[in-house]
Amino acid sequence: MDITGLVRDYGYGAVLFASMLEGEMVQVSAGVAARAGLLQWHLALLAGTVGVFLATQAWFVGGRLAGTRILQRRPELEPKVERARELLDRYGAWLFVGYRFLYGLRTVVPMAIGMSGVAPARFVVIDAVCWLLWFTVLSSAGFYFGEEAMAGLDLLVQRSAWLPLVIVATLAGGLAWRWARR
């Protein structure tokens, strides 16, 4: 199986769907693939932006239409949604831009915004522009530092014979430290 062929044939679809789950690392990786000539940068950027935008819109619509029911079924989300509501009250529309930096709240913030009664058209426009800008930065970083990343990956592969030893040593050290604490 040829990895480069798979990336060329299915790369844009993979970027689109994978970005729905973990957009940032996927977009950086897509930039690296574009730098290596496997994908076209602007199409990879578009695929990643569309994927994460669709996921965000799904959370927004879910919050708007069924937010209370979702929280009844998943009560562990309640503290995060409450935190998102506090941030929305405090920062208003600026939260639409800044929530991408809030680890652990990136999925519930759109849901909380949907539950807050924000007009869908307003959220769609601001969210689309913000994701496009965010992913342009990430994809560009992958594209411009792609050669260095590939060189680092080659070095890692060359040194991979040591990886099992490092894992075993790390586990042994962790167990020894735990035993010593007792």
pLDDT tens digits, residue range 100-129? 777 677 778 889 889 988 889 988 888 888
Q: Where in the sequence is the domain holding 133, given as residue range(s)?
A: 3-144
**Looking at the domain assignment, is residue 158 inside a domain?**
no
Q: What is the pLDDT of residue 175?
A: 80
Instruction: For residue 43, tell me if it sits in a domain.
Output: yes
Residue 151 lies in a domain: no
> Domain for residue 169, yes or no?
no
| Greater pLDDT, 90 or 171 | 90
Stated pTM of the model: 0.69
Q: Is residue 120 one of the residues assigned to a domain?
A: yes
Banded pLDDT at 62 (limits 50, 70, 90): very high
The answer to whether position 165 is within a domain reads no
Give the count of domains, the chain: 1
pLDDT at 61: 93
Kind and range of the H or E run holding 146 = helix 146-158
Assess if residue 153 is contained within a domain.
no
Token reading at 75: 């009560």
Scored b (16 or more CB within 10 A) or e, 102-140 reads eeebbbbbbbbbbbeebeeeebeebbeebbeebbbebbb
Q: Which residues are CB-contacts of 14 (< 8 A; sequence separation ≥ 6)? A: 7
Q: Is residue 168 situated within a structural domain?
A: no
